[in-house]
Structure 1
Amino acid sequence: MSKRRAATCQCSICHQTRPCSDVAPGESIREAIATEIQKQTPAWNSDQPVCTSCLNQFRAEHFRHLLEEEKGELSDLEMRVLDSLREQDSIAANVNEKFDQQLSLGDRISDQLANFGGSWAFLILFAAVVLIWMLFNGILIAQEAFDPYPFILLNLVLSCLAAIQAPVILMSQNRQEAKDRLRSEYDFQVNFRAELEIRLLHTKLDQLLSHQWQRLLEIQQLQLELMEELAERRDKPSS
């Protein structure tokens, strides 16, 4: 038994045939978006359907005009969010994974060294090495010490270690700041996208409420007319 084909409708903007579930009737489009459509497509009217893809583009253009009126020139991040809204793409991403893909071998090694240098294992190992060095050269083998008191060679080794460790830690901190900056940019895009979606939902709710009130008023008017007609029939003397 053959399956029934889904009903299709033609978009009045792009003139492509799509499933009717992906096409919105023109009368359901709110006034601000309809005005934007008529600006770019003067031949369009509210009786013609519009597909979801075209509708998203007009919504993005409408939001762009609103934001330009509120803020002036838009930033690259805001334009990126509008593009994602137009294409209905997700802007959420795993920042750690994306940032780690950009790291070189030297960056990974320096991060590992910085992590090890800030751990208890390094502190314990460092204290043990210094203590053993001082014991061997100060007490146990004082007669044959290769670095007798005041441990000049030990001071040189520690100075070299500090000189190497400091830039490694700074490089790791710079990469952490870059990662935090990238994370804040993604957070801004997600929050900005959510704000636009919420504003769109609010306008849709307002439109639904206005339509409901209009329908209720029409129903009430019909009821009043019926009641008046019934009253006239009741008061009319029988012939």
Structure 2
Amino acid sequence: MAPDRETRERTATGATAAPRPRTRLDQPMSPRRRLMPEWDPEAFGRLSERIARFLGTGRFLVWMTVAIILWVVWNVSAPYALRFDDYPFIFLTLMLSLQASYAAPLILLAQNRQADRDRVNLEQDRKQNERSIADTEYLTREIAALRVGLGEVATRDWIRSELQDLIKELEEHRPDGQVVFPTVPTERSRGRDVDDR
């Protein structure tokens, strides 16, 4: 009698090994339950930036000063039964400490987000500068190659000076001093000079 498939798998993996459940990779995993609440870090970061921007304005200082003055005036001049924070103003101190303890991390979070944006901008600027430097070096090499190439090109003035030197040499070497050259129509040569310019 041949052993069945399950028996073969047990003997291959060991008699005490329990079969592992296979996870399917072609299907998304079911979401796990978390004990901590979830939030969108980008939305929270944008909110913290708005609060930090508001805390850094003159409007916030004016409203904070007005609130503190009203608080102190109310707790000094109101009837005793309506006062909620007597003279040492302990509750006011607690509220200001609470506001400061929340303001500092929000400002730091906003600064971190700004630093991240600055880092990305600096990286983009660095890449742009590298491209500009590479383009400039390429154009410099091309201009230098053109200058070298133009230095080797014979210009009309150089050819004329060479021809005049040859005429002088020929005049010096002829015994009778006469030089005979084929005639070129003057109108044609002048027209070509004008066109060349």
Deviation at 1:226, TM superposition (A): 7.2
Q: Which has the larger radius of gyration?
A: 2
Conserved? CA contact 1:136–1:145, under 8 Å: yes
Deviation at 1:173, TM superposition (A): 0.5
| 1:194 and 2:115 matched | no
Deviation at 1:145, TM superposition (A): 0.8
- Where structure 1 has 5 or more consecutive residues not aligned to the other structure, the ranges are 1-102
Deviation per residue, 1:190-217 (Å, 9 max, x gap): 2221111111111111111101100037
Moved over 4 A (4+): 236-239
**1:1-239 → structure 2 map (5 Å cutoff):** 104-216=42-154, 220=158, 224=162, 227-228=165-166, 232=170, 235=174
Conserved? CA contact 1:136–1:142, under 8 Å: no
TM-score (norm 2): 0.60
Kindly provide the amino acid, as one letter, of the partner of residue 45 in structure 2: D
TM-score (norm 1): 0.50
Q: 2:124 & 2:150 partners in 1: Cα distance? A: 39
Q: 1:194 & 1:141 partners in 2: Cα distance? A: 74
Match of 2:28 in 1: none
Q: 1:212 & 1:182 partners in 2: Cα distance? A: 45
Kindly provide the amino acid, as one letter, of the partner of residue 167 in structure 1: P
Q: 1:167 & 1:201 partners in 2: Cα distance? A: 51
Q: 1:164 & 1:173 partners in 2: Cα distance? A: 15
Q: 2:59 & 2:80 partners in 1: Cα distance? A: 29
Q: 1:206 & 1:222 partners in 2: Cα distance? A: 27
Q: 1:176 & 1:206 partners in 2: Cα distance? A: 44
Q: 1:227 & 1:236 partners in 2: Cα distance? A: 18
Aligned residues: 137
- Where structure 2 has 5 or more consecutive residues not aligned to the other structure, the ranges are 1-40, 181-197
Instruction: Provide the secondary structure at the position in 1 that maps to 2:152.
Output: helix
Structure having the larger proportion of residues in strand:
1
Deviation at 1:222, TM superposition (A): 7.9
Q: 1:236 & 1:186 partners in 2: Cα distance? A: 78
Conserved? CA contact 1:137–1:146, under 8 Å: yes
Q: 1:228 & 1:125 partners in 2: Cα distance? A: 97
Instruction: Provide the secondary structure at the position in 2 that maps to 1:104.
Output: helix
Kindly provide the amino acid, as one letter, of the partner of residue 87 in structure 2: Y
Deviation at 1:227, TM superposition (A): 4.8
Instruction: Provide the secondary structure at the position in 1 that maps to 2:88.
Output: coil
